[in-house]
Amino acid sequence: MRNLLLRLGFCLAVCGFCLYSYLEMQNDLTQLKIKLPQVDQEIRLIREENRRLAYEIDQFLSPSHLIEMAHRPEFSHLQHPLLKEILTVPEVFVATQAP
């Protein structure tokens, strides 16, 4: 009789521990689900900021803006390079063979 109660108590303790760990895992999962919309909003804001900065960079590097900057007094000391001063590196096509 005592052996049976001991086994039953052990089984109940193991089941209780499993139930507790399952509930703890569910609580952690619920907390992550709560944080998910906040993280999604942050990602959306960062992507929007990246698009805005990319647009700003494109506007800054546009040829019309660069020509306008070349006419400013602070850049008047710069000169266009001569053709003999321009170095070009030819592209080399290397065919890769499948092993």
Residue 81, domain member (yes or no): no
Structural domain total, the chain? 1
The pLDDT score that the predictor gives to residue 85 is 83
Residue 88, domain member (yes or no): no
In this model, does residue 93 exceed pLDDT 80?
no
Residue 7, domain member (yes or no): yes
Residue 96, domain member (yes or no): no
Structure confidence by residue, pLDDT tens digits, 45-84: 999 999 999 999 999 888 888 888 888 888 878 777 788 8
Token pair listed for 9: 């108590």
Residue 43, domain member (yes or no): yes
Distance (Å, whole) CA 15 – CA 30? 22
Residue 91, domain member (yes or no): no
Distance (Å, whole) CA 5 – CA 12? 10
Residue 62, domain member (yes or no): yes
Residue 32, domain member (yes or no): yes
- Tell me if 19 sits within 8 A of 13, measured CB to CB: no
- Predicted TM-score (pTM) of this structure: 0.54
Residue 59's CB is within 10 A of a number of other CB atoms, namely 10
Distance (Å, whole) CA 79 – CA 75? 9
**What kind and span of H or E run contains 13?**
helix 2-60
Structure confidence by residue, pLDDT tens digits, 8-59: 999 999 999 999 999 999 999 999 999 999 999 999 999 999 999 999 999 9
SS3 16: helix
Domain assignment of residue 40, given as a range:
2-73
